[in-house]
Structure 1
Amino acid sequence: MKLFDLTNKRALITGGTHGLGMAMAEGLAQAGAELVISSTTPSKLEEALAYYKSKGYKASGYIFDVTDEKIAAEQIEAIEKNQGPIHILVNNAGIIKREPAVSMLIEDFRRVIDVDLVGAFIMSQLVGRKMIERNEGKIINICSMMSELGRNSVSAYAAAKGGLKMLTKNLATEWAKHNIQVNGIGPGYFATSQTEPIRVDGNPFNEFIISRTPAGRWGDPEDLAGTAVFLASEASRFVNGQIIYVDGGILATIGKPSNE
């Protein structure tokens, strides 16, 4: 369908070398988009690009930290010069620090905010300026269920992702008049290499997630692809400032009684 066709569109995915970022990038590529992947780790970037190219996708990569505005600005200029205009920006790069609030180091708190929130702002500003000049663009911020809910030991992450939700709404408000749509995706709990150690039978957290999720399972990374394509395509041209939670229904329910 033409509404979802991303042919001749170029998508920059920060941190698109593994996990959910890679799944969304692959979904965009399957819809026809050319991929530009950023990373801070050369070996991971090289491995990811080899994978994308093995699938027949057009992909290039750049090494930079989204929190370094000077280097990021230089790399955005290089992308636009070497590859062409960035039509789609996916702010996926992020970190998490699990530590009770009472003992978290302030430097760790600041670092999470810097990567997960300030980094997304830096990238949105740099790419958004060029989108404004062209009077079109799509920005997709990767939020979280922690944009809505609290949880033990993730105070910095929740603060950053809550802030990212509101940044999404504010950028949409400012840039809608330039035909730029800024939306977010809030993933639930997904089966990735990071969650593999706790996704085993008998693990209390595994049982908790399965029982807490109406769908009764962890998400597959591929479950995010359709939402990413929708928000990157003309199908969402009048959708702005929204966070779409892809969580198997967790946020829709108070949960099941323990004896059900």
Structure 2
Amino acid sequence: MLSLHSNLKGKVAVITGGGGVLCGEMAKELARQGVKVAVLSRKKDNAQKVADDITRDGGEAIALACDVLDKESIEAADHAIHQQYGSYDILVNGAGGNHPDAATSEEFFRNSHLDNEDVKTFFDLTEEGIKHVFDLNYVGTVLSTQVFMKHMLGKEDASIINISSMSAPTPMTKVISYSAAKAGIDNFTQWLAVHMAKENIRCNAIAPGFFLTSQNRNMLLDAQGEMTNRAEKIISQTPMERFGKPEDLTGPLVWLVDSSMSRFVTGITIPVDGGFMAYSGV
């Protein structure tokens, strides 16, 4: 368990994608640190579960539905949060995900795949699927930042945390649009850090390695709960030889948002990956 940081007590955090496994854990840890947390998710029920866990443990949280692809939805959530808490100190842009229509079924293309209806190739990806995944991960982050950051202006120190991925520095096979969007997140993080530096708003990103979540469980585990070939390949390339746990992200998060420890840190992406990025495979 992390030590408590008095600098965070009483601050306000907005977390998109807060109903998910990873950002839900982030929301709970910030609340444990004394932060008032607005948990946002496309489905309010998912956000409410996290908010209920927080309040049950003595923290303060509200849950709201928010679709980051719909600016009116973001603005409606912003209005409700602003009515409750006024200004914000922390924004975690965690909404994201992938879609089958933007992913190939095989890592490598073979000409014979064109005659196989069971194989989805690069040529089968739909424009709608590609745009949806890119918009969800990149455009949704930009739109959310445009709306919520306005209530962070004038603070002595405010912090934005974007959620990147191991697919940003080197694209993962199959997930073309997701990889491109996460590379865009790293770039946006650097751009925004420079753009907002005079207003004391720091912008950084966290790049999780491979974590078991509801979104990727079917990709990493089979029906019997055994690792798939893709999962075994991931573990073989991860020196610590395990998947990440949601709580592995909370230490870097707290360090980044506590200005007493990171006041001169902006524009970086921190990999939390068990050594995956550092390992060449030999």
- Is the TM-score greater than 0.5? yes
Distance 1:251 1:202, change over 3 A: closer
Q: Which residue of 1 aligns with 2:135?
A: 114
Q: 1 CA distance for matches of 2:230 and 2:132?
A: 27
Asked if 1 retains the 8 angstrom alpha-carbon contact of 2:28 and 2:50, the reply is no
* 2:241 aligns with one of 211, 216, 236: 216
What's the C-alpha RMSD, in Å, of the aligned pairs? 1.8
Which of 87, 90, 110 aligns to 1:88? It is 90
128-137 vs 146-155, greater mean Cα deviation = 128-137
Preserved CA contact (<8 Å) 1:87 1:131: yes
Residue of 178, 182, 185 corresponding to 2:203: 182
**1:255 has 2:281 as partner:** yes
Structure 2 Cα separation of the partners of residues 207 and 241 of structure 1? 33
Question: Taking structure 1 as the reference length, what is the TM-score of the superposition?
Answer: 0.92
Distance in 1 (alpha carbons) for counterparts of 2:250 and 2:73: 29
Q: CA offset at residue 9 of structure 1?
A: 0.7
1:191 Cα deviation (Å)?
2.7
Greater alpha carbon shift after TM alignment, 198-207 vs 40-49 = 198-207
Which aligned pairs between 1:102-251 and structure 2 lie closer than 5 A? 102-197=123-218, 198-199=220-221, 200-201=225-226, 203-234=228-259, 235-251=261-277
Check 1:82–1:202 CA distance in 2 against 1; reply closer, same or farther (3 A cut). Answer: closer
**Counterpart of 1:78?**
80
In structure 1, how many angstroms separate the alpha carbons of the residues matched to 2:273 and 2:279? 11
Aligned to 1:32: 34
Tell me if structure 1 keeps the 8 A contact 2:208–2:272.
Answer: yes
Higher relative contact order (CA 8 A, sep 6+): 1
2: distance between equivalents of 1:206 and 1:74? 40
Query: In structure 2, do the counterparts of structure 1 residues 82 and 245 end up closer, same or farther at CA, with 3 Å as the change threshold?
Result: same
Question: Does the 8 Å contact 1:27/1:228 carry over to 2?
Answer: no
Contact 1:5 1:32 in 2 (8 A): no
Q: Which amino acid aligns with 1:233?
A: D
Unaligned runs of 5+ in 1: none
The answer (yes or no) to whether the contact 2:206–2:269 under 8 Å persists in 1 is yes
Greater alpha carbon shift after TM alignment, 230-239 vs 121-130: 121-130
Distance 1:176 1:218 in 2: 35
TM-superposed CA distance for 1:114, in Å, is 1.3
Aligned partners of 1:146 and 1:5: how far apart in 2? 33
Give runs of ≥4 in structure 1 deviating > 3 Å.
1-5, 133-136, 193-197, 199-202
Q: Do the aligned partners of 2:40 and 2:64 also contact (CA within 8 Å) in 1?
A: yes
The Cα of 1:187 is off from its aligned counterpart by: 0.2
User: Does structure 2 conserve the Cα–Cα contact (< 8 Å) formed by 1:188 and 1:219?
Assistant: yes
Aligned to 2:116: none
Higher radius of gyration, 1 or 2 = 2
* Mapped contact 1:184–1:243 kept (Cα < 8 A): yes
Q: Contact between 1:11 and 1:90, CA under 8 Å: does it hold in 2?
A: yes
When residues 120 and 202 of structure 1 are mapped into structure 2, their CA distance, relative to the original with a 3 A threshold, is closer
* 2: CA distance, partners of 1:67 / 1:193: 21
* Cα distance in 2, alignment partners of residues 96 and 194 from structure 1: 8
CA distance in 1, matches of 2:51, 2:162: 22
Task: Name the structure 1 match of 2:119.
Answer: none
2:46 is equivalent to residue 44 of structure 1? yes
Amino acid at match of 1:42: K
Partner deviation per Cα, 1:35-92 (whole Å, 9 max, x = no partner)? 1111111222222222222222211011121121123123213211212311100000
Q: Equivalents in 2 of 1:130, 1:45: separation in Å?
A: 22
Question: Residue in 1 aligned with 2:69?
Answer: 67
In 2, the alpha carbon distance for the partners of 1:129 and 1:50 equals: 28
Equivalent pairs: percent with the same residue?
Answer: 35
State the secondary structure of the residue aligned to 2:40: strand
